[in-house]
Amino acid sequence: MVGTIILFNANCDSVWSPTSWKQKPVAQPTNHEDQEHLSGLPDLVSTQEIDQLSLLVVFAARGQVFIMQGGDCAEAFSDVRPDIIKSKQDLLIARSKYLSDGLGKPVVLIGRIAGQFSKPQTSCFETLSCGEVVNTYRSDNVNGDDAIARSADPDRLYMGYHSPQ
């Protein structure tokens, strides 16, 4: 077993470790009425792909490669179209080549693309212009943009799971 990494941030009173996230409160829980709805679906990413990326991160930590991550903060299901994805992919590839040439080392490109359907918000609720308080829109994977579609809906996770495939 590899030794535990523990980092301490002088600007923070807490100690970080790979499992410290488990001690943190869930600030924005998504309360799905049907928690079992997605449990039978296969993984989106294989263990082999995770292991490959982990190795590339090690190479980056050694300075052998540079990691570039790019993409939208949150996407709409309607943006999962070949023309839009190709355009984003081409842009990311061009930027990574530019970086690679400038740095003189390989660039590992991690695309946030065709699957970024959720994002946290600063508040769980928002007040509409009419004064009604509704759940905050958290992107297509969680709820709808329309005020009447603001409840967390596990079917949206199912749609998000199948959208990029």
Residues annotated in the binding site for phosphoenolpyruvate, as ranges? 112
Where does residue 71 fall: left (phi above 0), alpha (psi -120 to 50 degrees), or beta otherwise?
Answer: left
What single string gives the DSSP state of each residue in 69-113? Answer: EEE-SS--GGG-SHHHHHHHHHHHHHHHHHHHHHHTS-EEEEEE-
Judged by DSSP in three states, 55 sits in helix
Q: How many CB atoms lie within 10 A of CB 137?
A: 18
Q: How many of the other CB atoms lie within 10 Å of CB of 135?
A: 19
Binding-site entries for Mn(2+): 73
Residues annotated as binding site? Answer: 73, 112
User: Measured at the alpha carbon of residue 68, what is the angle toward residues 67 and 73, in degrees to the nearest 5?
Assistant: 135
Strands, E, within the chain: which ranges?
7-8, 15-16, 66-71, 107-112, 125-127, 133-135
